[in-house]
Amino acid sequence: MQYKKFGKTGISMSALGFGAMRLPMDEKGEKVDYEKATPIIHHAFELGVNYIDTAPGYCNEDSEVAVGKALKGWRDKVYLATKNPIQDASGDNWRKRLEGSLKKLDVDCIDFYHMWGISLETFREKVDVSAGPVEAAMKALDEGLIKHLSFSFHDNKAENMKPMIDSGYFSSVLLQYNCLDRSNEEMIEYAAGKGLGVVAMGPIGGGRLGAPSKELRHLMGREVHSTAETALRYVLANPNVHVALSGMENMTMVSENAKIASIKGTLTESEQANIEKMMVENRKLADLYCTGCNYCLPCPQKVNIPLVFELMNYHKVYGITDYAKKEYAFMDTPFENRKQQWMIDRGYNGAKCTECGACVKKCPQNLEIIEQLKETDRTLR
């Protein structure tokens, strides 16, 4: 396992982090199957992973309990990260959620505690306010309940991260980064330069880049073992990324990812250049189909047109067909059967289109949206 200096914390952190959001569940899908999950987590620790990340909402709200059980006997050898969902501007409520996580994890302190999924608006209106979460966090730091304050970034503008980095409150940041999504790259460099530890989530694109793809496997100009190897090595090659956080659900994934994270050295200049060149060319092809500007929304039938076309791009441009079909099928699910808000936010697929034409009038690219929705439905159905 390769290790990197984690910002100004003085910690040597494993290049691969264990994301505990896809742990094996019991037969009813209600709770984590602890007998299966614990050995998987221990296997990662045994292979040198020393960073594990969980959250209150993962695995039907049971991930923290599962991680707590797996930490027994390992607590002083690994660094624990979890999150606080910023539901309001109350520091007292923030404290209650912290105490809830400590109880579920069955630990005395949390190493890296995140303001979860914040945007600049959330930071200004609900986090950095009088008697709010920041004040509560400073008190928790003084009491030793948390060792480092962190934040995970979810905003549609990468530059909105800068005020949070500059605030001086945070020791690390968790953000999206992979070879399909490099929007945060400049801010990653800025955060690292300011001494923050940088953890990249979605290095394998939330599963997209783990699916078989001949196109992506050949990006480095030579044959590699898997698409995931290309994707993970690309993220780890960025010197400003300290940990690549991967959600791992079985022994095989742990072993393969740990093997990749143990490769000494980064990508060669030619490998890096080849990936970037081909990704730029592929992005241009994808943009011909849909730029993802979202002007076509909202759709009266709740069709998520940009996401539908994004899935088509995964198939058509990147060859990630299995993933595209799986996600497209999920978008058939009635809203009342979707358990969490993010599932509802994904909207419906093209099958719900009634050809009303509202989207066509709003598209700045003048795309034939209705016909492309039909084509996508025929292809990914």
Predicted confidence (pLDDT) per residue in 225-259, tens digit: 556 677 788 888 888 999 999 988 899 989 989 99
Strand 12-14 to 3-5 pairing: antiparallel
Predicted pLDDT at 315: 82
Looking at the predicted structure, is the pLDDT value of residue 47 above 60? yes
Instruction: List the one residue out of 45, 79, 55, 242 whose CA is nearest residue 148.
Output: 79
Nearest-10 Cα torsion for 19, 60, 380, 314: -20
Question: Mind listing the domains of the chain with CATH numbers?
Answer: 3-267 (3.20.20.100), 290-380 (no CATH)
pLDDT in tens, 135-177: 999 999 999 999 999 999 988 788 999 999 999 999 999 998 8
Burial bucket for residue 260 (CB in 10 Å: 0-12, 13-18, 19+): buried
Burial 289-304 (b: 16+ CB within 10 A, else e): bbbeeeebbebebebb
Residue 148 CA to residue 76 CA, distance in Å, equals 16
The mean pLDDT value for 194-212 works out to: 71
Q: With 50 as the cut, is the pLDDT of residue 209 above it? A: no
Can you read off the two tokens belonging to residue 59? 């695995």
Share of the chain above pLDDT 70, in %: 86
Q: Taking 70 as the threshold, does the pLDDT of residue 215 lie above it? A: no
DSSP H or E run through 55: none
Q: What is the pLDDT of residue 207?
A: 44
The pLDDT value recorded for residue 275 is: 64
Place of tokens 């898997």: 226
Distances in Å between the Cα of 124 and the Cα atoms of 86, 91, 93, 132, 137 are 12, 14, 17, 11, 15
pLDDT of residue 115: 96
φ/ψ bin of 221: left (φ > 0), alpha (ψ from -120 to 50), beta (otherwise)? left
Q: Report residue 177: phi and psi, to 5°.
A: -165, 125
For 88-102, how does the pLDDT look when each residue is reduced to its tens digit (9 = 90+)?
Answer: 999 999 999 999 999
- State mean pLDDT over 70-79: 97
Does residue 345 carry a pLDDT above 50? yes
Mean pLDDT of 125-136: 97
The pLDDT of residue 51: 98
Peptide bond into 56 cis (omega under 30): no
Question: Looking at the predicted structure, is the pLDDT value of residue 317 above 80?
Answer: no
